[in-house]
């Protein structure tokens, strides 16, 4: 530790004992961890102390700033269009980025979407897109900027030079039980989005069994924290709290979600996916002053589909190529007449993961064809013997565990649910 401004142990103790870390301590520990001076086990101890003791708004803001300044920041100021992005905190069947980025681009904005991979029961946008034959998610900065200029939308992985401190800490949190810390979630998301250089951001903060934030108060706290961080750095930031008690749409997996996203772009698709896609698009366009066009029109007239095809082609994919198909398909059928009153999101997401659509560790491969396709969802009437859902996989040994999960996740009752599902639960701005 010779020549270092602080001792890692002293910083850990300060937070362990409930103290607030100073700006200098935060700047040092984030930088030292990025340089390898602070060891993984020391940062794991600090992350656990932060999870248990929390952070003040000032600490969270400084932590975010330190993560942002650990690497480069993209400069999008030379683009001819206003820039706006969307970030989802993750859910089951959440394929909204796929139709949303081309839709918003079709209405005049540039959408620089740096996305991630799935882990556990939540799917990753990059995994979904890589089920398209030839699609590249690793782009150079020059390719990224050129595609924003020419197409208006790009969905790819962040380069290793953007917020490298977050890249290290994100992986560590996942294996040390510290993912749920609101200050660490907020700083992780916002440091990457600020490094991306977009002028406005709309946050889709999921709430419910299939989300990281399962209670409305926790989700609201996270949303308020991220909105404040964005606004403090000069980025217009709005958050919507949206329901994740039931999967979004009918498809949960990789290729199956791409197929559903294409249905939405073609003017069809499940009503909930269409509604939330259009709602988020309106928020994104309003955030950068583009209110002359209704995004619903760009879905209906094919402009969004044109941008999707251009985006896929620009990233090496073939928009006309057949998507991967699973070798094994198993059907779950209703045992009685009635109405579907419950489709529990986390269990369905976990079933898709069990089928091979997700990963337990970051280095695990995914089966692009695996997943769950719902034939019925909440509010649908069924008769005994009707197909409730299908399970898709290339490995039949994966079917029994997934069948058990989905059977427990779906409830058929004699009477319909008491109230219709509300997709948008709240809207958070800086005031």
Mean pLDDT (whole number) for 371-384:
96
Q: Is residue 71 part of a domain?
A: no
Catalytic residue among 15, 62, 65, 87: 87
Confidence of residue 418 (pLDDT cuts 50, 70, 90): confident
Mean pLDDT (whole number) for 386-409:
96
In this structure, what CATH number is given to the domain that contains residue 335? 3.90.1170.30
Which of 273, 303, 321 marks a domain boundary? 321
Q: Among 93-102, 352-361, 369-378, which stretch is predicted with the lowest mean pLDDT?
A: 352-361
Closest by CA to 160, choosing from 175, 144, 138, 180, is 138
- The distance from CA 243 to its chain's CA centroid, rounded to whole angstroms, is 14
Number of domains comprising the chain: 3
Strand residues in 121-268 grouped as ranges (E):
153-157, 200-207, 236-243, 251-253
Q: Is residue 273 part of a domain?
A: yes
Q: What is d(CA 225, CA 235) in angstroms, rounded to the nearest whole number?
A: 14
Confidence of residue 121 (pLDDT cuts 50, 70, 90): low
| Confidence (pLDDT) at 1 | 46
In this structure, what CATH number is given to the domain that contains residue 111? 3.40.1030.10
Confidence of residue 118 (pLDDT cuts 50, 70, 90): low
Q: Is residue 160 part of a domain?
A: yes
Mean pLDDT (whole number) for 76-86:
94
Which of 321, 356, 374 marks a domain boundary? 321
Residues 300 and 391 in one domain: no
Residues 307 and 217 in one domain: yes
Residues 332 and 314 in one domain: no
Catalytic residue among 121, 173, 193, 354: 173
| Confidence (pLDDT) at 3 | 80
Q: Is residue 426 part of a domain?
A: no
3-class DSSP assignment, residue 122 = strand
Query: Which residue has better confidence, 322 or 117?
Result: 322
Q: CB within 8 A of 139, min separation 6: which ones?
A: 147, 154, 156, 157, 315
Question: With pLDDT > 90 as the criterion, what percentage of the chain qualifies?
Answer: 83
Residues 307 and 385 in one domain: no
| Confidence (pLDDT) at 202 | 98
Q: Active-site residue 173, yes or no?
A: yes
Q: Is residue 431 part of a domain?
A: no
Q: Active-site residue 398, yes or no?
A: no
Domain residues for 384? 328-413
Rounded to 10 deg, the angle between the 97-106 and 271-287 helix axes is 50
Residues 316 and 341 in one domain: no
pLDDT tens for residues 296-352?
999 999 999 999 999 999 999 999 999 999 999 999 999 999 999 999 999 999 999
Closest by CA to 371, choosing from 258, 212, 264, is 258
| Confidence (pLDDT) at 24 | 97
Residues 248 and 214 in one domain: yes
State yes or no: pLDDT of 161 exceeds 90. Answer: no
Catalytic residue among 15, 117, 192, 376: 192
Q: Active-site residue 394, yes or no?
A: no
Residues 140 and 50 in one domain: no
Residues 225 and 305 in one domain: yes
Starting at the edge strand that comes first in sequence, how are the strands of the sheet with 410-413 ordered? 381-382, 338-343, 410-413
Show the tokens assigned to 49.
């102390």
Q: What is d(CA 235, CA 201) in angstroms, rounded to the nearest whole number?
A: 7
Catalytic residue among 187, 188, 191, 245: 188
| Confidence (pLDDT) at 175 | 81
Catalytic residue among 31, 94, 127, 166: 166
Residues 242 and 100 in one domain: yes
Residues 314 and 333 in one domain: no
At 293, give phi and psi (nearest 5°).
-115, 145
Mean pLDDT (whole number) for 5-18:
95
Residues 184 and 241 in one domain: yes
Q: Is residue 430 part of a domain?
A: no
Q: Is residue 65 part of a domain?
A: no
Mean pLDDT (whole number) for 346-364:
85
Residues 177 and 275 in one domain: yes
State yes or no: pLDDT of 261 exceeds 50. Answer: yes
Q: Active-site residue 87, yes or no?
A: yes
Q: Is residue 234 part of a domain?
A: yes
Q: Active-site residue 166, yes or no?
A: yes
DSSP state of 251: E
């Amino acid at each position: 530790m010779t020549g270092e401004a602080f001792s890692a142990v002293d910083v850990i103790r300060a937070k362990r004992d409930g103290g607030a870390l100073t700006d200098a301590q935060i700047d040092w520990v984030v930088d030292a961890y990025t340089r390898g001076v602070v060891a993984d086990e020391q940062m794991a101890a600090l992350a656990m102390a932060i999870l248990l003791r929390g952070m003040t708004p000032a600490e969270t803001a400084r932590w975010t700033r330190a993560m942002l300044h650990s690497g480069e920041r993209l400069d999008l100021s030379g683009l001819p269009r206003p820039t706006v992005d969307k970030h989802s905190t993750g859910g089951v069947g959440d394929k909204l980025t796929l139709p949303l980025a081309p839709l918003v681009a079709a209405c005049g904005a540039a959408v620089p979407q740096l996305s991630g991979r799935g882990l556990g029961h939540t799917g990753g946008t990059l995994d979904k897109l890589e089920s398209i034959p030839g699609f590249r998610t690793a782009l150079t900065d020059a390719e990224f900027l050129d595609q924003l200029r020419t197409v208006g939308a790009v969905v790819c992985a962040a380069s290793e030079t953007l917020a490298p401190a977050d890249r290290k800490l994100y992986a560590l949190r996942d294996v040390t039980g510290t993912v749920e810390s609101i200050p660490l979630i907020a700083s992780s998301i916002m440091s990457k989005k600020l490094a991306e250089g977009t002028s406005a951001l709309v946050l889709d903060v999921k709430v419910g069994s299939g989300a990281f934030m399962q209670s409305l108060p926790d989700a609201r706290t996270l949303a308020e924290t991220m909105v404040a961080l964005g606004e403090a750095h000069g980025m217009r930031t709005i958050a919507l709290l949206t329901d994740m008690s039931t999967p979004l749409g009918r498809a949960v997996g990789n290729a199956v979600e791409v197929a559903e996203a294409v249905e939405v772009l073609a003017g069809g698709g499940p009503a909930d996916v269409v509604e939330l896609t259009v709602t988020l698009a309106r928020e994104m366009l309003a955030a950068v002053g583009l209110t002359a066009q209704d995004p619903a029109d760009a879905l209906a007239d094919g402009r969004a589909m044109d941008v999707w095809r251009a985006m896929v082609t620009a990233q090496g994919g073939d928009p006309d190529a057949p998507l991967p198909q699973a070798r094994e398909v198993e059907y779950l059928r209703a045992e009685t007449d009635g109405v579907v009153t419950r489709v529990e999101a986390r269990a369905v997401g976990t079933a898709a993961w069990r089928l091979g659509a997700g990963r337990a560790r970051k280095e695990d491969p995914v089966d692009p064809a695996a997943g769950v396709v719902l034939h019925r969802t909440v509010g649908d009437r069924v008769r005994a013997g009707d197909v409730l859902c299908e399970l898709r996989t290339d490995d039949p040994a994966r079917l029994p565990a997934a069948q058990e999960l989905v059977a427990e996740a779906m409830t058929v009752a004699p009477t319909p649910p008491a109230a219709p599902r509300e997709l948008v639960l709240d809207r958070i701005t800086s005031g």
